[in-house]
Amino acid sequence: MTAPADGVLTTLFPTGHALGITTDTGIELLIHLGLNTVQLQGKFFTPQVQQGAVVKKGQVLLEFDLKAIEAAGYSLVTPIVITNTANYTDIVESDATTITAGETLLTIIK
């Protein structure tokens, strides 16, 4: 998983399955890799940065084994939540069903 924007890694769950980023523009993102993956207790997740690190767009934040996670019976659906939505007029989702690193997933309107 790579950083979607420049910012600070404000939260890194000890199990590595979820992280929070506050972007340089003030957007607060919570990214949760897979559903119920906290139950893996860190297995298959290898963080590449520490909580509090300044990160740059495209920087690797987390490595994980997708095949092993899926083989263990977990969904790979990855919720991305903007936790400070009250600060924005609108948040528009891409209508793409698959997003590749660097592509636009959300457009946030101030």
C-alpha 29/C-alpha 10 separation (Å) is: 9
CATH fold of 7-109 reads Glucose Permease (Domain IIA) (2.70.70)
Q: Is 104 helix (H, G, I), strand (E, B) or coil?
A: coil
Per-residue model confidence (pLDDT) at position 69:
98
Residue 72 burial (CB < 10 Å; 0-12/13-18/19+)? middle
Per-residue model confidence (pLDDT) at position 16:
96
Per-residue model confidence (pLDDT) at position 97:
74
Q: Within the chain, which residues score under 50 in pLDDT?
A: none
Q: Are 9 and 19 in contact (CB under 8 A)?
A: yes
**Catalytically annotated residue among 32, 33, 61, 64:** 32
Q: Is 17 a catalytic residue?
A: no
Residue ranges of the domains in the chain?
7-109
